[in-house]
Amino acid sequence: MRQELLLIIAAVVILIAEIATPDEKKGRIIPFSLGLFVLVTAIGFIPGQEGTLFGGAYQSTQLTMFMKNVLNLAVLIVFFQAESWLKKPQNLDKISEYFILTISTLIGMNFMVSAGDFLTFYLGLETATIPIAGLAAFDKYKSESAEAGIKLILSSALSSGILLFGLSMIYGATGSIYFADVATKITPTPIIALGFIFFVAGMGFKISLVPFHFWTADVYEGAPINVTSYLSVVSKGAAAFIFTIVLFTVFKSIVTLWQPLIYTIAVATMTLANLFALRQNNIKRFLAFSSIAQAGFILLGILGAGDLGMTAVVYFVLVYVFTNLGAFGVVSAIYDASGVETISGYNGLYKTNPNLSLVMTLSLFSLAGIPPVAGFFGKFFLFTSAAGAGYYILVLIAVLNATISLYYYLKVVKAMFIDPNDQPIPTFRSSMAMRIALVVCAAGVFFVGFASGIFEYIRSISQMFLN
Amino acid sequence: MNILTLLVVIPILTIISILFTKDLKGARVVSAVGMGIQLVVAAVLLFMYLGARQTGNMHEMLFTADYTWFKSLNIHYSIGVDGIAVAMICLTAIVTFAGIFASWEMAYLSREFFVLLILLATAVYGFFISLDLFTMFLFYELALIPMYPLIGIWGSGPKEKSAMKLTLMLMAGSALIMVGIFGLYYNSAPNGGPLTFNIIEISKIIIPEKTQMFFFPFAFVGFGILGALFPFHTWSPDGHASAPTAVSMLHAGVLMKLGGYGCFRVAMFLMPQAANSMAWIFIILTSISVVYGAFGAIWQKDLKFINAYSSVSHCGLVIFALLMMNQTAMDGAILQMISHGLMTALFFALIGMIYGRTHTRNVTEMGGLMKVIPFLAVVYMIAGFASLGLPGLSGFVAEMTVFVGAFQHQDMFHRVVTVIACSSIVITAVYILRVVGMMLLGPIKDPHHEHLEDAKWYEKLSTVTLLVSVAAVGIAPLWLSEVISGSLKPIVDKLAAVIPF
């Protein structure tokens, strides 16, 4: 419970700070909030107690605490990357809104991850989703941004409805909403199967799995970059966490029922997202499709139901945090400095901004799963988990998809390093906060893979969680 | 520190030092020093290995070290070498050293170039010393990816396209390998106990034949793609033709050997029954590679394309010989890898140097070069003779051993394919002599070519290093054969146990 309480305190303190700060000094809220959140993240890493609250509606384990720490870390990086964007004059009057909205969604996600019954889960999900719509529409005078907000809220509402419909069937069949109860009472009957399919459809919207991904590209493109990166990393990561937890605990006994379904979705998600990503020129849309494809890879870990699968998913999300935020950080830095957000606009970037190009290359290679960076290890373990369950053909499809994805990642690398350009993006120096964030991401991408201790730790807490 | 770990650490330190240099001069000196030390270490390793064998150390792998990395998955950083790996490491050291000097005047983004080139070499060393499939695979993929920027940035012709084609085809190959590795891993403990990625451990157990039949094609074709196995060789001519000199050298000379090495170390060694049952398919494919590559070379006008197709042919012969699965032929396969690695690196170095002077690689536009650049022309000729199998040079030793080994099979099928593969010797002679005749002899065709400058000191150093090695293998093959054949024995024994031969 500590992490949720800390976040609530942080949100309230920022709100008070907003009231207490005179209008001309609003800019000071940024360093204040950053400092506060560094503190919140750091406290989160102090070992905490396991246990359940509210009659089992809330559960806290080492694994859920670790998941929350991963999410906190991701949000911290996003905040650092957002600093120079928030300082722009058009955002000065809504700095605290950005922080409060983001922290609110994070609180929702924390509750979702810690849920012990479907009610807490659903409440967490809604708390996590609604403020994001506000964030997506943050550039309120830009029509794309407003459109993104509307698209997000409508598709979220629809998916929540579908999800609830599915949950109601499961409740009807088992007579309980508690995870522990449902897990014992669940049987592979048609009504459960139908409920489960609705549940997967609802979650599919949140994680943006094919065929529930249509909102993703438009929202990612329309929303401000720092919100997009939040959506693609934190929001997706949290949804992947809870999806894995629910499948591995609640639906454990009908594993044979859901594996074919997840198998199909995984193949469709990886393949279609990759094929769409091939055609993009807007870097945000490109990363949107790339992140859909990454979600497809996560499903491989889920298919290897067991502690290795759980470990692989959590580890992959951790890697993904550094990797994707590294890529988004560079996109954001470039957009802040020059307003360019097309891949062809990046031509010749290495000549003028070598460091940014290198961070971007490192991140893209990590996304593609190229050794020795962390993405390779993340993908390898996901595939190990799927192969352990006997899905060799699926692993082959996935690795071939990773090869296709390499094609479009290399296209960006090609733009930065090879393609000539008469007017490349001029040399610039991004803000201190952005540079710190990028260095953290690059270091994470580089070292998380080699540090086998992290993987072993996640493995041990996953084993504890599942037993 | 273990001498094998040193082989990976030295290049990494070299890379770090290059990052601190300012310009081409600094970068190339640091690279040359680093790779020079590496060459010395490789030589020391060779003598240490021979010394250890002489004192009667008959372990399969020497200089082993083992550190646990991912404990719960039983992934280790496990290293060790046998004679074959030692030979490969020496080959890599020679070619890399020559490659640095062949790119002495790399003016454009020189630091980045040397960093990537040495990164490629690092990965190759890592691959050859690995005994753990995980690290082996890691180094394998790490060796492939620097090719993209190396060809894409510093290449010539349709470089982006070739670089992308090469990278994607080889990565698709590694996708297949990955499935093969998982298959081995999850079948590595048939009687319970921890699963393992360790090659030596897996070789001690017998994987069920049905499982082998499923996973063998993945592993074999995956590595075969890098070994230019027909019909997956198409990346090779494009890639080699577009790549800058040193990259062609390293890629054709060393990297393609990773394919052959993986084919027998991972696919055939660990899944012998499947290798035996499926050999005929791949023997047919490699026979096609051998002959098709040679014919392909005849029709090309671009020097690099000629050599690239010739590589397809020669590398096809490597896998062809491996699939014969007897001591002599496999011995020949390893010799052929080394011989081809040296020869082709020498060819690409020379082609780069000639191109740097004449600004064309088209054979029909050159003539009489012997008169203006005698040093390069003579070396080219000797390399050509080595390639067509002149006794006294490395090519003869390797091809002779391969064909003698292949002929030891008594049945019709093996006889026929061997005869077909043998015919490549004649075809090779055609394209080599054609190039020598057109380009080096006769009158000078282009008046601009009358005042070319002959090789500079660094070019001489680069080519002479390779030339001496080619001649050494040709003159004293038994010495090399001794290093190899002892280590081949456990592999051949394992194969022989399942083959009615």
Which of B72, B139, B186 is opposite residue A456, by nearest beta carbon?
A: B72
CB burial class (10 A; 0-12, 13-18, 19+) of residue B79? buried
DSSP-based three-state secondary structure for A346: helix
Query: Which chain A residue's Cα is nearest to B140?
Result: A371
Enter the ipTM. Answer: 0.91
Measured in angstroms, the CA of A266 and the nearest CA of chain B are apart by 17
- Decide: A116 and A180 in contact? Cβ < 8 Å: yes
Interfacial A residues in 256-285 facing B (CB < 8 Å):
none
Phi and psi (nearest 5°) for A53? Answer: -130, 165
- Decide: B380 and B440 in contact? Cβ < 8 Å: yes
User: What does B133-193 look like in DSSP terms, one character per residue?
Assistant: HHHHHHHHHHHHTTHHHHHHHH--SSHHHHHHHHHHHHHHHHHHHHHHHHHHHHTS-TTSS
Task: Indicate the helix (H) or strand (E) that contains B79.
Answer: strand B75-81
Mean pLDDT of chain B: 87
The better pLDDT of the pair B497, B225 is held by B225
What is the DSSP secondary structure assignment for residue B442, as one 8-state letter? S
Residues in chain A where the model's pLDDT stays below 70: none
Which of A370, A403, A413 is opposite residue B175, by nearest beta carbon?
A: A403
- Decide: B308 and B252 in contact? Cβ < 8 Å: yes
> Among all chains, which residue has been given the structure tokens 């080959």?
B91
A311-320, B106-115, B167-176, range with the lowest pLDDT: B106-115
Q: Cβ of B138 and A402 within 8 Å?
A: no
Residues in A touching B134 (Cβ below 8 Å): 380
The half-sphere exposure of A393 on its side-chain side, counting CA atoms within 13 A, is 4
Q: Cβ of A395 and B182 within 8 Å?
A: yes
Residue A302 belongs to what domain range? 2-466
Query: Which chain A residue's Cα is nearest to B170?
Result: A403
Q: What pTM does this model have?
A: 0.93
- Decide: B127 and B144 in contact? Cβ < 8 Å: no
pLDDT score at A440 = 93
Q: Cβ of A406 and B178 within 8 Å?
A: no
d(C-alpha B245, C-alpha B103), whole Å: 7
pLDDT score at A211 = 85
Q: Cβ of A387 and B179 within 8 Å?
A: yes
Q: Cβ of B183 and A417 within 8 Å?
A: no
Flag whether pLDDT at B314 surpasses 60. yes
Query: Which chain B residue's Cα is nearest to A384?
Result: B182
Residues in A touching B69 (Cβ below 8 Å): 452
Q: Cβ of A372 and B138 within 8 Å?
A: yes
Query: Which chain B residue's Cα is nearest to A411?
Result: B164
pLDDT score at A12 = 92
| Chain B interface includes A443 (CB < 8 A) | no
Flag whether pLDDT at B20 surpasses 90. no
Query: Which chain A residue's Cα is nearest to B215?
Result: A392
Query: What are the pLDDT digits (tens) for B344-378?
Result: 999 899 888 888 888 888 888 888 888 888 888 88
What is the DSSP secondary structure assignment for residue A139, as one 8-state letter? S
Question: Which residues lie closer than 8 Å to A285 by C-beta, 6 or more apart?
Answer: A217, A220, A221
Chosen for mutation from B70, B139, B161, B213 (greatest number of chain A CBs closer than 10 Å) is B70
Q: Cβ of A413 and B148 within 8 Å?
A: yes
Domains contained in chain A, number = 1
Give the angle B107-B111-B112 at the CA atoms, nearest 5°: 105
Question: Which residues lie closer than 8 Å to B371 by C-beta, 6 or more apart?
Answer: B444
Measured in angstroms, the CA of A409 and the nearest CA of chain B are apart by 11
pLDDT score at B500 = 60
- Decide: B152 and B160 in contact? Cβ < 8 Å: yes
pLDDT score at A345 = 87
d(C-alpha B243, C-alpha B245), whole Å: 6
Which of B18, B14, B21, B17 minimizes the C-alpha distance to B35? B14
